Amino acid sequence: MVLISKYDLLIPGEIDKNTNEFVEYVKSEFAKFGAHHFRDFQIWQISSRPKIGSSLDYGYGVEKVLIDWVTPTADNGKIGLRPDSPPPLNGREADLYLWRRLGQKENDNHHA
């Protein structure tokens, strides 16, 4: 999950074109990365105390985030700590040991 806070400062139409393009680029890059590496990747936008005159309500997005955080799922407690990474090239024995223990997905059957 990526949480974009202070969203009241990034509302399309209320910011300049360059900033808007940058925000959209960052969100798309996070979305690509998240979709590739996580099953349930989400990008949330919140503004807990929007600036005076903002088009957003007080606490914008906060309730949805909190509900999502406290809603139990089948995956709770089963956080995968194994990155999908190749063994280190020219790694020291300590690096290779860590990769054998942590650097493979759990269902990989090969070892370095």
Q: How many residues does the chain have?
A: 112
How would residue 97 be classed by pLDDT, with cut points 50, 70 and 90? confident
Q: Please state the rounded mean pLDDT for residues 31-56.
A: 87
Query: Residues 64-82: pLDDT tens digits?
Result: 999 888 887 766 555 555 5
Phi, psi torsion values for 81, nearest 5 degrees: -105, 10
Higher pLDDT, 39 or 65: 65
The four Cα atoms 40, 43, 48, 54 give a dihedral, to 10 degrees, of: -150
- Counting Cα atoms < 13 Å in the Cβ hemisphere of 110 gives 4
- Sketch the domain layout of the chain as residue ranges: 2-70, 77-107
Write phi, then psi, for 76 (nearest 5 degrees).
Answer: -55, 130
pLDDT at 108: 46
Q: Structure tokens of 68?
A: 């999502």
